[in-house]
């Protein structure tokens, strides 16, 4: 692990599945709503944006732990289609933060074999950020480690509208029959194409909402809500989430022991 991606060494040690967890029952894909940055900062008398800066460290920790523990994919909600309505200063800070983090961490992500993709309407992002995203996506595309998806200018409803429109265009062009539209066809038009659906959704800071995140993909995810604000989310909080996840009986609408095929690719 390069030093750039590494955070506090005592909190993170390189290892596979930690003691107490069943390695055969780890989630293949974790989605996370990184909430509570502003409250974390307010509670310390800091400007809200300092919460976002601290949130980057928590994200690096979480990504590294998931990669070390053999979790296949981590999808983080970094900026929603609704987040543009925040004060301009905060939006600009976040865009610059994304740029800086990408510049600073790309080498580490590459050497850690992380495959990074940005999901959302990327054309609305500042051109410099778009260029960094394109570079990072290309440079890590063939990496074999964790799939790290950063939802940026992402909205679940907008994603579904976009997918519907793309299907309609294919029908209009004669490429597709309406009868060929099924769950697989729709999933193939989502930003997450090729990724299995999340098994576990983690939301920090106590809010019990989905907030327009992965509306299709979270259909059967287990939901873990923690009171911890995102900047304080670390190894202990992740371990609690995984322990909680492993205590659940997933039935996917069926019966115990019978697993319908609903998890996506």
Active site residues: 35, 83
- Nearest residue to 192 via CA among 33, 84, 74, 34: 74
Residues 6+ apart with CB under 8 A from 247: none
Q: Is residue 101 close enough to count as binding ligand FPP by CB under 6 A?
A: yes
Contact criterion met (CB below 8 Å) for 35 and 230 = yes
1, 18, 25, 83: which one binds ligand FPP (CB under 6 A): 83
Residues 197-216 that bind ligand FPP (CB under 6 A): 205
Query: Please, which residue, 192 or 205, has the CB nearer to ligand FPP?
Result: 205
Q: What residues contact 4, with CB distance under 8 A and at least 6 apart?
A: 104, 105, 107, 108
Which residue is it, tokens 């301009």? 88
CB of 121 to ligand FPP, least distance (A): 16
User: What is the number of the residue whose Cβ is closest to ligand FPP?
Assistant: 38
Q: Which of residues 17-76 bind ligand FPP (CB under 6 A)?
A: 34-39, 52, 55-56, 59
The Cα–Cα gap between 212 and 217 comes to 11
Sheet of strand 29-33: strand arrangement: 115-119, 147-154, 73-80, 29-33, 200-203, 222-225
Tell me the closest approach of the beta carbon of residue 155 to ligand FPP, in angstroms: 13
What are the tokens at 235?
Answer: 């190894």
In the complex, what is the shortest distance from the CB of residue 132 to ligand FPP, in angstroms, rounded to a whole number? 10
Choice between 189 and 230, CB closer to ligand FPP: 230
Number of residues located near ligand FPP, criterion CB under 6 A: 17
Instruction: Name the residue nearer to ligand FPP (CB basis): 55 or 156.
Output: 55
- Give least dist CB 218 to ligand FPP, A: 18
What is the rounded CA–CA span in Å between residue 249 and residue 140? Answer: 35
Q: Is there binding between residue 120 and ligand FPP (CB under 6 A)? A: no
**Closest separation between CB of residue 86 and ligand FPP, Å?**
8
With binding defined as CB under 6 A, does residue 125 bind ligand FPP? no
**Nearer Cβ to ligand FPP (69/213):** 213
User: Coil, helix or strand for 105?
Assistant: helix
Q: Give the CA diameter of the chain.
A: 59
Residue 192 neighbours by CB distance under 10 Å: 25
Residue 249: CB atoms within 10 Å: 7
- For ligand FPP, the closer of residues 78 and 200 by Cβ is 78
CB 63 within 8 A of CB 114: yes
Residues binding ligand FPP (CB under 6 A):
34-39, 52, 55-56, 59, 78, 83, 97-98, 101, 150, 205
């Amino acid at each position: 692990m390069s030093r750039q991606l590494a955070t506090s060494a005592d909190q993170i040690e390189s290892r596979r599945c930690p003691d107490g967890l069943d390695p055969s029952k780890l989630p293949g894909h974790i989605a996370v709503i990184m909430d509570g940055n502003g409250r974390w900062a307010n509670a310390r008398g800091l400007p809200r944006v300092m919460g976002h800066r601290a949130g980057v460290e928590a994200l690096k920790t979480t990504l590294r732990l998931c990669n070390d523990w053999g979790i296949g994919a981590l999808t983080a909600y970094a900026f929603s289609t609704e987040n543009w309505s925040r004060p301009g200063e905060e939006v600009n800070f976040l865009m610059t933060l994304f740029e800086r983090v990408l510049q600073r961490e790309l080498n580490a992500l590459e050497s850690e074999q992380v495959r990074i993709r940005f999901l959302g309407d990327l054309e609305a992002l500042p051109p410099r950020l778009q260029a960094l995203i394109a570079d990072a996506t290309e440079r890590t595309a063939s990496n074999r480690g964790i799939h790290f998806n950063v939802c940026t200018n992402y909205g679940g409803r907008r994603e579904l509208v976009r997918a519907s429109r793309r299907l309609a265009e294919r029908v209009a062009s004669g490429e597709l029959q309406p009868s060929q539209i099924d769950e697989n066809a729709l999933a193939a038009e989502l930003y997450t194409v090729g990724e299995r659906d999340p098994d576990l959704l983690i939301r920090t800071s106590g809010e019990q909402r989905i907030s327009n995140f992965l509306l299709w993909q979270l259909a059967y995810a287990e939901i873990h809500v923690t009171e911890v604000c995102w900047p304080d989310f670390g190894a202990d909080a992740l371990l609690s989430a995984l322990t909680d996840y492993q205590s659940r009986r997933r039935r996917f609408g069926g019966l115990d022991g019978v697993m319908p095929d609903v998890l996506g690719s």
